[in-house]
Amino acid sequence: MIYLVGDIQGCCRPFEQLLATLDFSPSRDHLYVLGDLVNRGPDSLGTLRKLRALEGSATCLLGNHDLHMLAVAHGVRKAHRSDTLDTVLDAPDREAWLAWVRQQRLAVHAHGWLMVHAGVLPQWDLTQTLALAGEVEALLRSADLGDFLHQMYGNEPARWDDGLTGADRLRCVVNALTRLRFCAADGTMEFGTKDGAGDAPEGHMPWFDVPGRRTAGTPVAFGHWSTLGLVNRDDLLALDTGCVWGGQLTSARVDGATREIIQVACPQAQKPGGA
């Protein structure tokens, strides 16, 4: 069986409960985790341990919280007061865990689904999305990681251009794949609003509703947007249902035309108010 899972964010016990509910078997099943493996929940290290133990039967994407952990580890960002990364960053084998995180993906196409953490710009088709993700993945695994992390943050350029190069190009890719919620019809990204789809800022819309989106013919699964909630359309799965905020940890079993949503309730680890 193939399962797609929304943001875990260090909520290890609900993740273990979900695996038990699925009767997950590493020899039979495969899990795709749509980013934000760590942070805000009570057991980031335990979550990484569980995921690594499933290697070969689990594919993990990186979200903004996972990249934030790398940035904190490299001294690029200060830890936020709501971060729960100390169990990883203070672990005696922290370098091994950080190295493992650096090997994970930013976009995957498997079993008919394009999977990302946050979104896909309307100018990108499937092939370009995977190629651009691959550019960042290669950098994350390289000796140039520290330099890139110093240039990764910022909201500009807000609109993709195929002529972008260097840090601007990579920053735009990271922002789309790990932070995007709303954009304008021309693909200009907006990062100030974290509310649900009905609260789009003027002149903007959810990225997946942009007319003419070039991935419109490709089913897309993503997480990141807890205030959006579960979206279960033929061509779209939004699976971040606020586990860390006391919502649910959500998975979708996908098998051709057959689909099943499986959720487990989660204790509140953080006061609701973000994603």
- Residue 271 included in any domain: no
Which among 137, 248, 224, 245 is positioned nearest to 237, based on CA atoms? 224
- Residue 177 included in any domain: yes
pLDDT one digit per residue (tens) for the chain, 275 residues: 999 999 999 999 999 999 999 999 999 999 999 999 999 999 999 999 999 999 899 999 999 999 999 999 999 999 999 999 999 999 999 999 999 999 999 999 999 999 999 999 999 999 999 999 999 999 999 999 999 999 999 999 999 999 999 999 999 999 999 999 999 999 999 999 999 999 999 999 999 999 999 999 999 999 999 999 999 999 999 999 999 999 999 999 998 778 999 999 999 988 765 44
- Residue 256 included in any domain: yes
Gap between the Cα atoms of 64 and 179, Å rounded: 7
- Residue 47 included in any domain: yes
Gap between the Cα atoms of 147 and 154, Å rounded: 15
Q: What is the CATH number of the domain that holds 117?
A: 3.60.21.10
Answer whether 0.85 is exceeded by the pTM. yes
The alpha-carbon radius of gyration of the chain (Å, integer) is 17
Gap between the Cα atoms of 93 and 34, Å rounded: 25
Which among 108, 8, 103 is positioned nearest to 65, based on CA atoms? 8
Q: Specify the pLDDT at position 272.
A: 67
Give per-residue burial for 218-229: e unless 16+ CB within 10 Å, then b. Answer: bbbbbbbbbbbb
Q: Which residue has the tokens 């929304």?
A: 6
Domain residues for the domain of 239 are: 2-265
- Residue 270 included in any domain: no
Q: Specify the pLDDT at position 271.
A: 76
Gap between the Cα atoms of 268 and 164, Å rounded: 41
- Residue 87 included in any domain: yes
- Residue 272 included in any domain: no
Q: Specify the pLDDT at position 275.
A: 44
Number of domains in the chain: 1
Gap between the Cα atoms of 19 and 144, Å rounded: 36
Name the maximum alpha-carbon separation found in the chain.
50
Gap between the Cα atoms of 93 and 82, Å rounded: 23
Q: Specify the pLDDT at position 256.
A: 77
- Residue 50 included in any domain: yes
